[in-house]
Amino acid sequence: MKLVNFEINRFSKIYFSLLLITILSQFVGVIIKVQGFLNKTDQTMLEEKLTEATYLEVYGGVNFNLVSGSLWFLGPIALCAVALIFYIFLIWYRDWFGKNTFIYRLLMLPTTRLSLYLSKATAIFLMVLGLIALQLIILPMENALFNSMMPEVFLTAKMSVMTILGSKPVLALIIPNSFTQFIISYGIGLMILFVLFTAIMLERSYRIKGIVLGIIYSVLAGALFLSPIWLNGSNGISLYPSEIFGSLIALGIIITAVSIWLGSWLLKKRVTV
């Protein structure tokens, strides 16, 4: 827990900056998109001499998708995703290439190196959950602000939070609408995280040769995980959806377990101080 807290604190300034950017961008986006729509509507009605009823017949109304599909809303989500993907690599390489080669101190701590390995993964996963929690907190507020600013005559429907989340594939992916889907989506995310960690350990253990080994390992892990989908319908193999689903879960667990074992073994046996 101390190692997890330590890793989170090291990234806290950037992390809270990402949270602040998300809040500001999305709320500003609501205001700008609503005002832009109303200004454009007034201008169109004036130029074409339309009543509100005629305008709605010709152009139709809007809902919260006006905001949730905009760069103001999706931009900070993409920024946070890119930042955390980048941090998967930074969380390790910063220790090697940072000031005073901090990895030496970490590797000499009186604890198992597996704890060090898992603490970095846990820190990243908790940051992801924090971003999801923030989005779930501010989305109802943004929705309420949108509904209060937009005249009801132009609203096609007042969308619920669940409807908003299901209306955009990106939102449905990062915030699944069921606990089972959440476990599946973020279970795959954890698998990818540990595969990348293992690829990094291969590079740190074997340097130039390790880069090639890391790429090969990542490709093989991905190919193995997707093999039930690729094999279905080929060479006389026919699988039911439930069998494909079960195979993906089993392979995901195996790949994750092998990645953790191999990564921790490399950190313990091959990466030296």
Per-residue three-class SS string for the chain: CHHHHHHHHHHHHHHHHHHHHHHHHHHHHHHHHHHHHHHHHHHHHHHHCCCHHHHHHHHCCECCHHHHCCHHHHHHHHHHHHHHHHHHHHHHHHHHHCCCCCHHHHHCCCCCHHHHHHHHHHHHHHHHHHHHHHHHHHHHHHHHHHHHHCCHHHECCCCCHHHHHHHCHHHHHHCCCCHHHHHHHHHHHHHHHHHHHHHHHHHHHHHHHHHHHHHHHHHHHHHHHHHHHHHCCCCCCCCCHHHHHHHHHHHHHHHHHHHHHHHHHHHHHHCCC
pLDDT in the model for residue 134:
95
Task: State yes or no: pLDDT of 185 exceeds 70.
Answer: yes
Kindly list the distances between the CA atom of residue 45 and the CA atoms of 48, 66, 237, 261, in Å, as whole numbers in the listed order.
5, 19, 60, 66
Mean pLDDT of 191-201: 94
Mean pLDDT of 160-187: 87
CA distance 159 to 170: 17
Query: What's the pLDDT tens digit per position in 94-148?
Result: 878 766 567 777 777 777 888 888 999 999 999 999 999 999 999 999 999 999 9
Query: What's the pLDDT tens digit per position in 6-29?
Result: 889 988 999 999 999 999 999 999
Mean pLDDT of 181-196: 92
Task: State yes or no: pLDDT of 200 exceeds 80.
Answer: yes
Amino acid at 167: S
Q: pTM for the whole thing?
A: 0.85
Task: State yes or no: pLDDT of 235 exceeds 70.
Answer: no
Q: Are 76 and 25 in contact (CB under 8 A)?
A: yes
pLDDT in the model for residue 111:
78
Confidence category of residue 52, pLDDT binned at 50, 70, 90: confident
- As a dihedral over the C-alpha atoms of residue 247, residue 249, residue 253, residue 254, rounded to 10 degrees, the angle is 10
pLDDT in the model for residue 172:
85
Query: For 225-234, which contacts have Cβ atoms below 8 Å and span 24 or more sequence positions?
Result: 225/191, 225/251, 225/252, 225/255, 227/251
Question: What is the Cα 173 distance to its own chain's centre?
Answer: 8
Kindly list the distances between the CA atom of residue 142 and the CA atoms of 20, 24, 27, 31, 156, in Å, as whole numbers in the listed order.
15, 11, 6, 9, 17
Mean pLDDT of 47-63: 87
Q: Which residues pair with 155 in a beta bridge?
A: 62
Encoded tokens for 56: 């709605």
CA distance 102 to 88: 17
What percent of the chain lies above the pLDDT cut of 70? 97
Q: Which residues pair with 62 in a beta bridge?
A: 155
Query: What's the pLDDT tens digit per position in 133-170?
Result: 999 999 999 999 999 999 988 988 888 888 898 888 88
Mean pLDDT of 61-80: 93
pLDDT in the model for residue 228:
87
Encoded tokens for 207: 């340097």
Mean pLDDT of 45-52: 86
